[in-house]
Amino acid sequence: MKIALYARVSTEDQATEGYSLEAQLEMLRAYVDNPDNDNETHTIFKEYVDEGFSGRNVQRPAYAEMMSHIREWDAIAVVKMDRIHRNSRNFMAMMDILQKNNKEFISITDMLETKTAMGAFFLDIIQRIAQLESDLIGERTYFAMEEKAKTSKGEIMGFTTPFGYAVHKGQLVTRDEELDIVKDIFKNYASGMTMDEICYDLNRKGTLTRKQNPWNKFNLRNILHNPIYAGYMRWDGIYIHHNASCAVTENEFNNVQLLMVSKVRDPSKRRTSLIKDAQCLPTVV
């Protein structure tokens, strides 16, 4: 079995835990040289060393190099699990890669080898903990965003600033030239022009998107569906009023939504999101 030895230390680790790089490598070499390794012959493929990097940082040069050589070795060995990752989610992401490539993981002081039944059980527990951690973070993030939405003073909610607007001191401000284009898009669609015709007209005039791309039905549909052009930022069903200029009125926006859904052939897919039906919150002042 060809084993990749991995050692990592940060300045803080070395000061508080005493795991120097050389001490780690000596322990790992001794493990490989142990003749009682399940009657298997172990050889060192290569030693990978990251010095001065946190275990929470996945952008480590030696770690990245080791993972790029994954087809060439059979297992990773570390002194302790936290030498390779201090975050359970990052650890499980690595384990997913190892399992897909039929590679093993060994932590010698934790007495963990993934090929054993106890090792597989231990990994299952870690995976469940990582999932719980992820779910809890998701819940906290959701509730924090919901509270921010409900107490918003018109600040943006973390999304990409849409065409027609910019952000100044956390508030939406108008980009007049772009917003005039948006006004024409809504006006032309409401008058009966198809999306293809509107895209053709915009591209023929040399009008480009914010990212300097030609217009297509996908980015045009995003414009027509976005209530921000009628005065509302949308977050998870909550509509928050903003103070920037609008391209259309609420009624004009709702009429465009109804027009768009009327062109959907499958009745089961005819879903609208109208401002008049939404939970709309006024700007808090």
Placement of tokens 């995003």 in the chain:
222
- The pLDDT of residue 266 is 79
pLDDT for the residue numbered 285: 36
Q: What is the pLDDT of residue 112?
A: 81
Unique residue bearing structure tokens 């006024």 = 282
Hey, what amino acid is at 139? E
Contact 118, 131 (CB under 8 A): no
Match 């870690």 to its residue by tokens.
126
| pLDDT for residue 15 | 43
- The domains of the chain, with CATH numbers, are 2-130 (3.40.50.1390), 151-281 (3.90.1750.20)
What is the predicted pLDDT for the residue at 148?
A: 53
Question: Which amino acid is present at 159?
Answer: F
What are 63's two structure tokens?
Answer: 């770690």
Residue-by-residue pLDDT tens, the chain, 285 positions: 999 999 998 755 554 455 788 889 999 999 998 866 655 688 999 999 998 888 878 889 999 999 999 999 999 999 988 888 877 778 888 988 999 999 999 998 877 888 888 777 777 776 676 566 656 655 664 555 555 555 555 555 555 788 999 988 777 899 999 999 999 999 999 999 999 999 999 999 999 998 899 999 999 999 999 999 999 887 666 778 888 999 999 999 999 999 998 888 777 777 777 886 555 544 443
**pLDDT score for 263:** 85
Query: What amino acid positions are annotated as catalytic residues?
Result: 10
Instruction: Write out the DSSP string of 244-258.
Output: S--SS-HHHHHHHHH
pLDDT for the residue numbered 284:
40
In terms of pTM, does the model score above 0.75? Answer: no
Phi and psi of 42, rounded to 5°?
-105, 135
Residues 58, 64, 70, 76, CA torsion sign: negative
Residue 227 is given by DSSP the state G
78 beta partners: 107
**DSSP letter assigned to residue 269:** G
DSSP string computed for 42-65: -EEEEEEEEES--TT----HHHHH
Return all residues near 100 (Cβ < 8 A) that are at least 6 apart. none
Nearest to 279 by CA among 247, 224, 243, 232: 232
- Supply the pLDDT for residue 45: 96
* pLDDT score at 5: 97
Q: Tell me what pLDDT residue 115 has.
A: 81
